[in-house]
Amino acid sequence: MKEINKNNKKFEDIKHIDENGVEFWYARELMLILQYSNWQNFEKIIDKAKISCENSGISVFEHFIDINKLSKRANNAEVEIRDYELTRYACYLIAQNGDNRKKVIALAQTYFAVQTRKQEINEKEYTSLTEDEKRFYQRNLTRKGNYSLNQTAKKAGVKNFDRFHNFGYKGLYNGETADDIAKRKGLRYREDILDNMGSDELIANLFRISQTEQKLKKDNIQTEKEANKTHYNVGAKVRETIKELGGTMPEDLPTPKKSLKQLEKENNKSLREK
């Protein structure tokens, strides 16, 4: 029991919390805890975990977020290295695909299996959420999705990310840019349009984001022009699908009375007053 608690503490010690309160683990830090010394070997385990994730019908990009970061070498030179931001579920899948001969792997499997179940939201639980809770949940997914999409777009040659994202909005919103959407919604300058969407509108945008990333990778897009065109075409295809299904066009969906930033401030104020 003492050894289990000790290892559980290690997993918690390397946990990170982003600015939105979302927890994640860095793959390179988890690698050391799981007693792997070689990144290339550990990345093979990550690739197997991704396949397990995909085979379960779960979106890989939501749980394995590609990042690049700087690492210092012995001569103080900085080099860019690849890493991942991992959810609890991603960590669990990595442990499941790890070397079972290692005792720490078995401990990791148990730890992340238990903790993942506490964190996940199943379909029944999701439907019981209020509309604002659904908005917060979907907004977190779109935030992670856009981060991952930006990494992929960068590799595809994108430098002007505002323009790149506007191509996606134009496709989905029948020619509207982010500024056009903001004006139609009556938002202040630079106010986040995604923070001012209902859950259905966020879901449409999340689908656009995830499908664009997959398309950029699948087609091995290498130029900014082609990446922009791809984003537009995916957005337009999502719009076409909504129309074919008889759904409401995203620009016709109601804008919530309060932005998620407002709701967050009100919630924090309420907690301080208690």
In a domain, 102, yes or no: yes
Say which DSSP state 188 is in: P
In order of 125, 132, 161, 201, 264, the CA distances from 233 in angstroms are 34, 30, 17, 18, 34
> Is residue 225 located within the same domain as residue 140?
yes
Among the listed residues 38, 7, 2, the one whose alpha carbon sits nearest the alpha carbon of residue 108: 7
Please state, in angstroms and rounded to a whole number, the distance separating the CA atoms of residues 20 and 9. 23
> Is residue 152 located within the same domain as residue 106?
no
> Is residue 189 located within the same domain as residue 209?
yes
Phi/psi of residue 188, each to 5°? -75, 165
Please state, in angstroms and rounded to a whole number, the distance separating the CA atoms of residues 63 and 83. 13
Please list the ranges in the chain whose pLDDT falls under 50. Answer: 1-7, 271, 274
> Is residue 105 located within the same domain as residue 160?
no
Please state, in angstroms and rounded to a whole number, the distance separating the CA atoms of residues 209 and 27. 23
Please state, in angstroms and rounded to a whole number, the distance separating the CA atoms of residues 162 and 191. 14
Q: Which of 77, 95, 120 is the last residue of a domain?
A: 120
- For residue 104, the model assigns a pLDDT of 83
- For residue 116, the model assigns a pLDDT of 59
In a domain, 45, yes or no: yes
Please state, in angstroms and rounded to a whole number, the distance separating the CA atoms of residues 115 and 88. 7
> Is residue 76 located within the same domain as residue 179?
no
In a domain, 203, yes or no: yes
In a domain, 142, yes or no: yes
> Is residue 116 located within the same domain as residue 194?
no
**Total structural domains in the chain?**
2
- For residue 17, the model assigns a pLDDT of 84
In order of 117, 130, 210, the CA distances from 272 in angstroms are 30, 22, 37
> Is residue 83 located within the same domain as residue 111?
yes
Please state, in angstroms and rounded to a whole number, the distance separating the CA atoms of residues 159 and 228. 11
Q: Is 272 exposed, middle or buried (0-12, 13-18, 19+ CB in 10 A)?
A: exposed
207: Cα separation from own chain's centroid: 12
Q: Which domain holds residue 79?
A: 2-120
Per DSSP, the three-state class of 50 is helix
In a domain, 63, yes or no: yes
Please state, in angstroms and rounded to a whole number, the distance separating the CA atoms of residues 95 and 152. 26
| Length in residues, the chain | 274
- Which pTM does this prediction carry? 0.60
Confirm if 16 and 24 have CB atoms less than 8 A apart.
yes
> Is residue 112 located within the same domain as residue 145?
no
Phi/psi of residue 224, each to 5°? -65, -40
In a domain, 267, yes or no: no
Please state, in angstroms and rounded to a whole number, the distance separating the CA atoms of residues 188 and 173. 20
Q: Which of 67, 92, 120 is the last residue of a domain?
A: 120
In a domain, 15, yes or no: yes
> Is residue 115 located within the same domain as residue 73?
yes
> Is residue 176 located within the same domain as residue 90?
no
* Residue 217 CA neighbour count, 13 Å, CB half: 13
> Is residue 160 located within the same domain as residue 242?
yes
> Is residue 12 located within the same domain as residue 99?
yes
In a domain, 81, yes or no: yes
Q: Which of 87, 103, 120 is the last residue of a domain?
A: 120
